Structure 1
Amino acid sequence: MEDHRLLLVDDEQGLITMLKTVLEKEGFHWIDSALTGEAALQKAASQEYDLIVLDVMLPDMDGFELCRKIRTFSFAPILFLTAKTSDLDKLTGLGAGGDDYMTKPFNPLEVAARIKARFRREEVYQKPSTPKKQVLTFNKLTIDLNAASVTLSGQNIELTAKEFELLLFLAEHPNQIFTATQLYEKVWGMDSFGDDKTVTVYIMRLRKKLEIDSKHPKLLLNLRGIGYKLNAGGEK
């Protein structure tokens, strides 16, 4: 874990100190911090981080706005920590480019567990394994694993890393149904802790980019009360 670089952004110095202490005990030794949005933006622009923990309510800048600014130059995973608990706030955070969302008060060990799970999953992707089919095609949709690219009707589709991971998992299991909880555990790498809405948001984002009519999807199907699947027939 010592090679992973983290940025903790929160206006409460006590919270940062607590998180840093726990994370160091869990094996993270390169941890930076910022108390304001402007300071965080400067550090994120001048240093490459492997993950950013970001509070929403900062004294000088809305955390969602800060996330959008960071996303203009960085794809580092962003975990929101916030006292805002409404579904709208969670959807706003994920829509701004966040990868995960936890509400205060929280257990710092759970934060550490989510971060470690994220990096464990990256390590699994990087390890040699049984050769997989490198190009997956479903009618007009093509997923190239080597290039980590997605095309639809020959047009390149820009996806975030997590959108690509979710689409790839469903594409590797075509026509199989997964609950939101199962998808969260498989793609985000740990127990959902009731965060099924995170999956819902990412499915919605994928549909907007891949479906002709996102309100009447043909590719990413939702079986009400059961779960989601990728239709191997693809978008006609």
Structure 2
Amino acid sequence: MDKEILLVVDDEKEIRDLIGIYLENQGYKVIKAKDGIEAVDIIENKYIDLVILDVMMPNMDGIKTCINIRKSKNMPIIMLSAKTQDMDKILGLTTGADDYITKPFNPLELIARVKSQLRRYKEFNVTNNQEKGIIKVDDLVINTETHEVKVSGKNVKLTPREFDILKLLAMNKGIVFSMEKIYEKVWKQNFFESDNTVMVHIRKIREKIEENPRKPRFIKTVWGVGYKIER
């Protein structure tokens, strides 16, 4: 199962680290930002599943950051603040936040809120994503309708054959495909034992989507069997 990527935004390092420890213990991948400016930059360049956002921060506060995020993204946002007045909560929620927790907070309550928001978001979006032809593998996003591929928010240009191979593996996460099977499904032709066409295409795809093609995160080699994208 892919790890959800959570962004924790707070100007206090101790709080960022504390929240990070609790989330990582639950199996989430955590990225941290010290203010709204850094958070917006991260969100523009990486795929994020959920944001935990402090209200009171220098440079760009949580309210302005939330408004900024909502201009182009729709992941869940949980606001975090020492303020308890109703107007602060209302302001946070009306600017696009999905939930609001006041400091000091119970870590177990925060975890419960995170899980609830992720569950609701997935249930709400799964049908829309399927209809739009969206396949997500960590921060790799494949749009089967438009033939667009993004990694960490950045567009990746693939040839039609490369796209078809990536799509085949991503739509069948966890299943190992031999070179023969990939060739027959993508090229629609009989495979010849000496043909290394698939291997060459896999290498080119890795060069485009992997940060380190020699240590791939997405397309894994199952030695002596074939290739797969893990769940």
Normalising by the residue count of structure 2, what TM-score does the alignment of the two structures yield? 0.52
1:82 corresponds to 2:73: no
Match for residue 205 of structure 1? none
Are the counterparts in 1 of residues 75 and 121 from structure 2 also a CA contact under 8 Å?
Answer: no
SS for the counterpart of 1:80 is strand
Match for residue 198 of structure 1? none
SS for the counterpart of 1:119 is helix
Match for residue 70 of structure 2? 71
Are the counterparts in 2 of residues 80 and 98 from structure 1 also a CA contact under 8 Å?
Answer: yes
Find the aligned partners of 2:125 and 2:111 in 1 and give their Cα distance.
Answer: 21
Q: Deviations over 1:4-62 (max 9, x none)?
A: 1100000011111111111111121x110100111111001111211000000111112
The alpha-carbon distance between structure 1 residues 106 and 61, as it changes in their structure 2 partners (threshold 3 A), is: same
What residue ranges of structure 1 are gaps of 5+ in the alignment?
128-133, 135-143, 149-236
The alpha-carbon distance between structure 1 residues 2 and 110, as it changes in their structure 2 partners (threshold 3 A), is: farther
Alignment of 1:14-163 (within 5 A): 14-28=14-28, 30-122=29-121
List structure 1 segments (4+ residues) > 4 angstroms apart after TM superposition.
122-127
Give the aligned residue type for 2:47: E
Aligned Cα RMSD in Å? 2.6
What residue ranges of structure 2 are gaps of 5+ in the alignment?
133-231
Are the counterparts in 2 of residues 7 and 49 from structure 1 also a CA contact under 8 Å?
Answer: yes
Are the counterparts in 2 of residues 7 and 53 from structure 1 also a CA contact under 8 Å?
Answer: yes
SS for the counterpart of 1:114 is helix
Q: Once the two structures are aligned, what percentage of the paired residues are identical?
A: 41
Match for residue 168 of structure 1? none
Normalising by the residue count of structure 1, what TM-score does the alignment of the two structures yield? 0.51
The structure with the larger Rg is 2
Are the counterparts in 1 of residues 76 and 121 from structure 2 also a CA contact under 8 Å?
Answer: no
SS for the counterpart of 1:33 is strand
Match for residue 138 of structure 2? none
The alpha-carbon distance between structure 1 residues 125 and 60, as it changes in their structure 2 partners (threshold 3 A), is: closer
Q: Quote the offset at 1:125 in angstroms.
A: 5.7
Q: Deviations over 1:150-171 (max 9, x none)?
A: xxxxxxxxxxxxxxxxxxxxxx
SS for the counterpart of 2:109 is helix
Are the counterparts in 2 of residues 2 and 27 from structure 1 also a CA contact under 8 Å?
Answer: no
Q: Which moved more, 1:88-97 or 1:112-121?
A: 112-121
